[in-house]
Amino acid sequence: MIRSRAGIPEWTLENIQTAENGQPKDIHKIIEEERMLEFAWEGLRRFDVFRWRHTLDRKYPGGHTLRQGDRYLEIPYNSPSVCEYIPQAQYDAYPYDLGQNP
């Protein structure tokens, strides 16, 4: 539906099988690409990346570069540095002091 509205051809059995140099394209890869395009700027990409156990890499200019040269920051899906914030409303509703993590 989105593809037809945007003027992009729909996926069919024929164009899936010839998608990359005549090689069949993996259906999971197609789903990943479609979700990336469909939900752009909605904040879901990060969750998809970790759910599919990919590495979250920032390979664009000015994006999280490290100080040791021109390497880029890569965060594996199982890294302990991956954490989610607690919404302020839930934090305020908790009757005890949570304190700050070290």
Q: Which of 54, 52, 73, 78 is nearest to 63 (CA)?
A: 73
Section 56-75 average pLDDT: 57
Section 63-69 average pLDDT: 54
- Residue 20 has a pLDDT of 60
CA distances from 77 to 10, 19, 23, 33, 49 (A): 31, 28, 28, 18, 8
CB 16 within 8 A of CB 27: yes
Section 69-92 average pLDDT: 68
- Residue 2 has a pLDDT of 65
Per-domain residue ranges for the chain?
A: 1-38
User: Is the predicted pLDDT of residue 39 greater than 70, yes or no?
Assistant: yes
- Residue 58 has a pLDDT of 58
